[in-house]
Structure formats: C-alpha cells, structure tokens
C-alpha cells in the first residue's frame, strides 16, 4: 500500500490502482465533484474500487447533529463544504462507476456516510 499526498484538483493521482480511499477530504472539491470523480475513475484498474467516508447531511441539512455543529462555523462565513447525503454516490454514478453502495456508519465523529463505487471490469 502507498499513500499519495497532494491536491486532487491540480496534482496527478496516477493510475493502475485497485483501490482508492478518501476520508473526509473531498469537501473542498464540492463544486467540481464530477471532474474529480472522473479523475479517480480513470485512475482505477478495471474492477477497481473507490471508497469515500464523509459527512452526509439529512433532513434539510439539520442532521446529523454532530455534522451540523461541525459545519456551523464555515456556514457563518458563507462557505458551504457539507455534503447532502447521496451527493458523492450520485457523482460516482454520473461519471461511469458500474455500481455504488452507500450506508451510514456510526463513528467517533458521529454518523458518517460510506460510499463504495466499483469500476466495470
């Protein structure tokens, strides 16, 4: 396993991966998510998997409580970094992932959404 640091929007993420994992790092690319998902999709081998663990706001962006509280200071500065539940999964499907599975996990940071997309073989 290798870890690759960098800026998703400017740096190459390489190619030939069986797995790409992103944990709470996609929020700053919310306004260009489909482009980022295309980049990740292209970097995967056939049958490769992209896994994202991130916030997922529900109920008109009022839940889960932990995420709303976490995003509050950004919202006061008119910066909208939070994801509505399903946002990442929808982007995965739009750019060509063969299948996407989603579920909410209870973590020490509160409820987080896990989206898993598989590239066609």
Q: Say what the pLDDT of residue 75 is.
A: 59
Q: Say what the pLDDT of residue 20 is.
A: 94
- In CATH terms, the superfamily for domain 17-118 is Vaccinia Virus protein VP39 (3.40.50.150)
pTM: 0.80
Distance CA 116, CA 103 (A): 9
Pairing of strands 44-54, 17-23: parallel
- Average pLDDT on 16-44 reads 92
* Residue predicted with more confidence, 75 or 119: 119
Domain residue spans in the chain? 17-118
Q: Where residue 100 falls among pLDDT bands split at 50, 70, 90?
A: very high
Place of tokens 């992209």: 50
Q: Say what the pLDDT of residue 111 is.
A: 80
Q: Say what the pLDDT of residue 59 is.
A: 55
- Give the H/E segment covering residue 88: helix 87-95
Q: Say what the pLDDT of residue 63 is.
A: 54
Query: pLDDT tens, 40-96?
Result: 999 999 999 999 998 765 556 555 556 655 555 665 656 666 677 889 999 999 999
Q: Say what the pLDDT of residue 29 is.
A: 85
> Which residues have C-beta within 8 Å of that of residue 36, sequence separation ≥ 6?
8, 9, 26, 29
């Amino acid at each position: 396993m290798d870890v690759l640091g960098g800026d998703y929007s400017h740096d190459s993420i390489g190619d030939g991966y069986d797995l790409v994992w992103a944990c709470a790092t996609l929020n700053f690319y919310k306004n260009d998510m489909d482009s980022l998902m295309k980049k990740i999709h292209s970097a995967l081998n056939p049958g490769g998997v992209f896994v994202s663990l991130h916030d997922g706001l529900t109920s008109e962006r009022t839940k889960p409580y932990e995420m709303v509280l976490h995003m509050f200071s950004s919202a006061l500065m008119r910066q909208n970094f939070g994801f509505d539940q399903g946002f990442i999964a929808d982007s995965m499907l739009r750019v060509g992932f063969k299948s996407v599975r989603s579920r909410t996990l209870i973590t020490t940071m509160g409820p987080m959404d896990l989206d898993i997309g598989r590239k066609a073989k």
